[in-house]
Amino acid sequence: MKYLCVLFTVVLSLSFSLQSTSYSSIEDRQKKVISNLLDQLVQHQTNTSLAIERSVNALLKSYPEQIDIVLKVALAKYPQDYKQIMCGALRAEPALASDVITILLQSNIAPSADIVSIAVNEEPAYATEIVNTAILHYPDELENIVTVAILIEPRIANNMVNNTMRSYPEKILDILMVAVKALPDQVANIVRDTLRLSPDNSDVISTAVSHSNNDNAREIVTIAIQSGMSKDSATTAAIAGGAKLIDIVRITR
């Protein structure tokens, strides 16, 4: 531990002793120091299988404000160990999950779904932040990102889906589609929550019906009516989504 403290002190002193040089020069010096420090920390780990993870974790526990430099240096030096690097960073500062995800995504070191999977597994409490950050950087991969997160943590899926819809209201139907496909047993709750966010949106009904089992059509229409949508509108939307009239004709308010 004394060894680590001395090394950390060196990093800190170098960071603040370069006030007369340019920002880029300071950053270059910091990267060099952290690179050397990381190598030394790795060499001093007795468990070689977790050496990278524990070294990144130790650095960020003491210097969370250096997360950008630490992760970029670690990924450049040990790209094959990106999973360990992510886990070490997330365990050091879970609240910085969005920063960790951003840096990993920008590195293009792995597919976005893989990064989301690792992060949500490691810090399920920050699943919403992780998903929103990933969608921000890769909006075209929304379906894979949300699906991965839902399947990993189905216990918090509804809350995560709701929060993601609030963050991306323009993608509410895309998120709904993913959610009803990934959670067929929770379609009723998902539709109800979606209608709270987007009342009288008949597209919610047609989308839910078209991407769920036919057996759910009646329940979806019933929920729509209970949520304030007229029976005619709900029925028409359901039929547009592929429901059979015979399956929903007997529904009453």
pLDDT value of position 63: 85
- Top-confidence residue, 30 or 174: 174
Tell me whether residue 229 is in a domain: yes
Q: What would the pLDDT profile of 180-215 be if each residue is shown by its tens digit?
A: 999 988 999 999 999 999 999 999 999 999 999 878
Domain assignment of residue 205, yes or no = yes
144 is a domain residue: no
Domain span at 189: 183-253
At position 168, the amino acid (one-letter code) is Y
Q: Assess if residue 240 is contained within a domain.
A: yes
Q: What pTM did the predictor assign?
A: 0.80
Residue 25 included in any domain? no
Domain for residue 13, yes or no?
no
Average confidence score pLDDT of the chain: 87
How large a percentage of the chain has pLDDT more than 70? 89
What pLDDT band is residue 14 in, cutting at 50, 70 and 90? very low
The tally of domains found in the chain comes to 1
More confident residue, 91 or 154: 91
Domain assignment present for residue 167? The answer is no
In a domain, 64, yes or no: no
pLDDT at 92: 94
Residue 62, pLDDT > 90, answer: no
